[in-house]
Structure 1
Amino acid sequence: MTLKTYFLPTVILITLIVLLINRHKLTPSYNKNFIAYLVVTFFVETTAHLLTVYYGNNIPLYNFQMIFEISFFYYTFYKAISKSSVKQIILYFSIAFLVFAIGNLIFYQTLYDFNSYTYTLGSIFLSFLCLYFLFEIVILSTNIINPFQNFLFWVSIGILFCYLGNLPYLSSLNVLFQNHDSMVTSLSIISKVVNTLLFVLMIIGVLCQKKK
């Protein structure tokens, strides 16, 4: 048990505590769902370590967590984006994504291999949603509130760094496991760094959020 093992769960726990203390600033109301998201993510990261120690494989857990997390972010942007045509695209793509993810989990890459196709598909569309949301609140919005005082502004930037930063590594994870197993641990620092950045930006976001 090393500091490295508990670093990310600790960051998540700190983020959760900060959001709980400042939950009155998490407006609109759907932003309060991030508290539940952080609770789930904290237990996933903690359980993932225990699965590695006792069973040597935490991939099935991360396959389910991936579907939960991406779907959560899709829902959040569905609520946050105002343009109805984009909302419809999010709704239809979310349904298609879930069908694809479940099919991939059962029939193709299956439970015990990292579902890289699901991650790649989900993260690319999620990145587009982040970019559109930033475009909407910075360029299209007539709201006089500074975007820097918007919680989701910071979260969107964090998601972009997290998912695009992870994409080259996680999309090739199965190949690395098969051919360059020793590189997996070394490259996992990428995930730790970009995930940490996402949670740090959540903290900045809630602290900067203008209370309505």
Structure 2
Amino acid sequence: MYATILAELITAVIGTLYYKKYKGTKLKHFILYLWYTAINEIVVGLYLKRYLEIEWGDLLYNLYYIISFIYFLTLFRNYLMIKKNKRVVHTFLITYIILLVINGFYQNYIYELQIIPYIAASSFLVVTIFLYFIEILNSEKVLNVRKNLLFWISIGLLLYHIGNIPFRILRNYYSDITDATVSFLLGVFLTIIMNICFIIGFIWSDKKQLY
């Protein structure tokens, strides 16, 4: 818990220090997402759930997931150049929202973390990132991809969600064979790796992002 919060705070601080690199791009709101992530984890994960033991903390986590998935799917849709790919991601967004509504009849989002919508949206995001990579590989941007901040953000998100989806499924549907400690440590590890990728992107990317 403390390790993930520290990683998120460090990433938010570094993202703020390098904000001038991407403030004129579609990534300008990414810094707000980073600070929201860190503050949400401190308030909900550390204070409300651990110290006050408030049961409805999952509501704020669910809200965070909704904002996160909609933000990233929208972000990548805006960066994709091929109209067909844009339509695919738009369909993902609509499907996720529909799943949220339908699943709300079976789950109480106040006291339970969303299951099916989360797994679906996480899978959608992985596919979307692959679509973005394919477009990059077929363009001149591939020549300078390591200096592209969105590339490093994509790598971090991809590693996190590819590693997290299987354990999320096991934890929710096969909890009797899933070690809670292993799931927790994996979550911490993946979160740290993701934030390291973000930090590399901030530091290594061009002094001024043009896309």
Cα distance change, pair 8–173 in 1 and its aligned pair in 2 (3 A): same
The answer to whether the 8 Å contact 1:12/1:42 transfers is: yes
Kindly tell me: are residues 156 and 29 of structure 1, through their superposed partners in 2, closer, same or farther at Cα, counting changes over 3 Å? same
- Structure 2: gaps spanning 5 or more residues: none
Aligned to 1:159: 157
Distance 1:173 1:113 in 2: 13
Is the 8 Å Cα contact of residues 70 and 122 (structure 1) preserved in structure 2?
Answer: yes
- 1:70-99 CA-to-partner distances (Å, cap 9, x unmatched) read 111101101111112211221232122112
State the partner residue of 2:49. 52
For the aligned residue pairs, the C-alpha RMSD in angstroms reads: 2.0
Equivalents in 2 of 1:186, 1:61: separation in Å?
Answer: 24
Amino acid at match of 1:78: R
Q: Is 2:195 the partner of 1:196?
A: no
Question: What does residue 79 of structure 2 align with?
Answer: 80
Letter in 2 for 1:29: T
Question: Contact (CA 8 Å) 2:147, 2:205: kept in 1 or not?
Answer: yes
Q: Which runs of at least 4 in structure 1 moved beyond 4 Å after TM superposition?
A: none
Instruction: Call closer, same or farther: CA 1:27–1:145 in 2, change over 3 Å.
Output: farther
Aligned-pair distance for 1:208? 1.7
**In structure 2, distance between residues paired with 1:28 and 1:92:** 28
CA contact (8 A) 1:176 1:184 kept: no
Show structure 1 runs of 5+ residues with no match: none
* Aligned residues between the structures: 204
Post-superposition CA distance 1:48-81 (Å, at most 9, x none): 2212221254433222221111111101101111
Structure 1 CA distance for aligned equivalents of residues 80 and 74 of structure 2: 10
Structure 2 length-normalised TM? 0.88
TM-score (norm 1): 0.87
- SS of 1:29's equivalent in the other structure is coil
Partners of 1:170 and 1:45 in 2: CA distance:
18
Give percent identity, aligned residues only.
25
Q: Indicate the structure with greater helix content.
A: 1
